[in-house]
Amino acid sequence: MRNILVIEDSPLVLKILEHLFRQETDLEPIFCASLAEAEVMLETSASLFFAAIVDLHLPDAPDGESVDLVMRYHLPCIVLSGSYNEQRRDELLMKGVVDYVLKESQHSYEYAFRLLHRLDHNSQIKILIADDSAAQRHYIRHILEPHHYQIIEASDGKETLRQLNEHPDLDLLVLDHAMPGVSGFELVKLLRQKLRLNDLIIVGVSADPKGSLSAQFIKHGADDFLRKPFCPEELNCRVMSTLERRDLLRALKKAAQFDALTGLNNRRAFYEQGLQMLQQAQRDKRQVSVAMLDLDHFKQINDGFGHASGDSALVVFARAMGNAFPDMLLGRLGGEEFALLTLHGADHVAQALDKLRQQCAGLHYAVGAPPLSFSAGLYQGEPEDLESLLHEADIRLYRAKQQGRARTVLI
Ligand X SMILES: Nc1nc2c(ncn2[C@@H]2O[C@H](COP(=O)(O)OP(=O)(O)OP(=O)(O)O)[C@@H](O)[C@H]2O)c(=O)[nH]1
* Contacting positions for ligand X (CB under 6 A): 261, 294-299, 302, 307, 310-311, 314, 335-336, 401, 405
Which residue, 181 or 335, has its beta carbon nearer to ligand X? 335
Which residue, 204 or 377, has its beta carbon nearer to ligand X? 377
DSSP type of residue 306? -
Residue 369 CB, nearest distance to ligand X (Å)?
A: 12
Closest CA to 345 of 281, 390, 405: 281
Which residue, 380 or 408, has its beta carbon nearer to ligand X? 408
Dihedral angle, C-alpha 110, 114, 120, 124, nearest 10 °:
180
Which residue, 314 or 339, has its beta carbon nearer to ligand X? 314
Which residue, 249 or 261, has its beta carbon nearer to ligand X? 261
Residue 40 CB, nearest distance to ligand X (Å)?
A: 54
What is the length of the chain?
411
Residue 375 CB, nearest distance to ligand X (Å)?
A: 7
* DSSP string covering 35-70: HHHHHHHHHHHGGGEEEEEEES-BTTBTTSHHHHHH
Residue 53 CB, nearest distance to ligand X (Å)?
A: 42
Residue 332 CB, nearest distance to ligand X (Å)?
A: 9
Cα 54 from Cα 77, distance rounded (Å): 7
Residue 366 CB, nearest distance to ligand X (Å)?
A: 11
Burial degree of 120 (CB within 10 A; 0-12, 13-18, 19+): middle
Residue 310 CB, nearest distance to ligand X (Å)?
A: 3
Contact 292, 393 (CB under 8 A): yes
Cα 253 from Cα 168, distance rounded (Å): 21
Using CB positions, name the residue nearest to ligand X: 310
Which residue, 252 or 261, has its beta carbon nearer to ligand X? 261
* DSSP string covering 331-386: EEEETTEEEEEESS-HHHHHHHHHHHHHHHHT---STTPPPP-EEEEEEEE-SS-H
Which residue, 131 or 336, has its beta carbon nearer to ligand X? 336
Residue 351 CB, nearest distance to ligand X (Å)?
A: 23
Contact 113, 53 (CB under 8 A): no
Residue 391 CB, nearest distance to ligand X (Å)?
A: 18
Instruction: Quote the strand ranges of 254-317, DSSP E.
Output: 288-295
DSSP type of residue 192? I
Which residue, 61 or 292, has its beta carbon nearer to ligand X? 292
Q: Strands 172-176, 126-130: parallel, antiparallel or unpaired by DSSP?
A: parallel
Closest CA to 131 of 175, 167, 161: 175
How many CB atoms within 10 Å of residue 403? 11
Which residue, 278 or 321, has its beta carbon nearer to ligand X? 321
